[in-house]
Amino acid sequence: MEAPKILVVDDEENISFLVTSALQLHGYRTASAANGADAIGLASSFDPQVILLDIQLPDLDGYEVLKRIRAAGSRASVLFLTARGTTSDRVRGLTVGGDDYMVKPFALEELVARVKVALRRQGSEVAPVRYQVADLVLDADAHRVWRGETELNLSATEFRLLECLMASAGRAVSRGMILDQVWAYDFGGQTAIIESFISNLRRKVDSVEPKLIHTVRGVGYSVREPS
């Protein structure tokens, strides 16, 4: 099954990066635009099922972008992202044809959940996301992890951390990337917390051989089979 396509429109580079990374981690294809003109072009050429649309853009506002992509024939579900959270803003966003509305800052997990709801309304589903390295298996949709025949009991944060590493299995994932994808808005940027959670994961995941969680000195961590 071809992965659904999501267009992220936001002129804040860090937000666009976090959102597209989270969506890719869940199996979606993504494109991004930093202004209204590019968004209108991509709505046609990329043909997304869902558009995450910031209202405050450097050229056109999100309402005008929506008006123009609808006029061009796009039937994508549109979820507005904005720092403006007044009732009048919400009402306008929905009355001009938006399907949903989220106020910044938002939790990435909630955003992904709303994207899934939008896709279900359209009859589009993403293929199940399942990662495997050796006998370690992570089912992202069921939120379950096994090592061999044993199911592991992970906290929500431990699960997100392992998912982040397994989505890039065999490659080094930097500490900065881990903070962005696992903690996002919820943490101030100190990397010491990562070491604590990696230690917890190793106790649960690597209690048997072979050890699969490896430190990449000066970079971060990797999940892979030993060479």
Whether a cis peptide bond, with omega within 30° of 0, leads into 128 is: no
The predicted pLDDT at position 3 comes to: 83
Query: Are 140 and 115 members of one domain?
Result: no
- What is the C-alpha to C-alpha distance for residues 45 and 106, in angstroms, rounded to an integer? 28
Distance, first Cα to last Cα, the chain: 33
| pLDDT tens digit sequence for 76-116 | 999 998 876 666 666 666 667 788 888 888 888 888 888 98
134 and 117 in a common domain:
no
Residue 71: which CATH number?
3.40.50.2300
Q: Which domain holds residue 151?
A: 130-223
d(CA 138, CA 168): 13
Instruction: Say whether both 42 and 62 belong to one domain.
Output: yes
Question: For the residues 117-138, what does the mean pLDDT come to?
Answer: 79
Please give the model's pTM, rounded to 2 decimal places: 0.62
Question: Do 201 and 146 share a domain, yes or no?
Answer: yes
Q: Which of 71, 92, 122 is the last residue of a domain?
A: 122
Residue finishing a domain among 122, 142, 167: 122
| Model pLDDT for residues 17-68, shown as the tens digit of each residue | 989 988 888 888 999 999 999 999 999 999 999 999 999 899 999 999 999 9
In this structure, the answer to whether residues 95 and 22 fall within a common structural domain is yes
Higher pLDDT, 140 or 72: 72
Alpha helices in the chain (DSSP H): 13-25, 36-45, 62-71, 87-95, 108-122, 156-166, 175-178, 192-205
Q: Is 196 helix (H, G, I), strand (E, B) or coil?
A: helix
Among residues 122, 139, 158, the one where a domain terminates is 122
Q: Count how many residues are written for the chain.
A: 227
92, 162: one domain = no
In angstroms, the CA 130 to CA 224 distance is 16
Q: Is 184 exposed, middle or buried (0-12, 13-18, 19+ CB in 10 A)?
A: buried
d(Cα 47, Cα 75) in Å, to the nearest integer? Answer: 9
* Number of domains present in the structure of the chain: 2
Order of strands, sheet of 220-223, starting from the edge strand that comes earlier in the sequence: 173-174, 220-223, 213-216
CA dihedral 81, 82, 85, 90 (to 10 degrees): -50
What CATH number is associated with residue 194?
Answer: 1.10.10.10
Q: In terms of domains, do 136 and 113 share one?
A: no
101 and 136 inside one domain: no
How far is 65 from 5, CA to CA, in rounded Å?
A: 18
**159-177 mean pLDDT:** 87
Q: Are residues 219 and 175 in the same domain?
A: yes
Taking only the tens place, the pLDDT of each residue in 181-201 is: 777 645 555 677 888 899 999
Both 95 and 14 in a single domain? yes
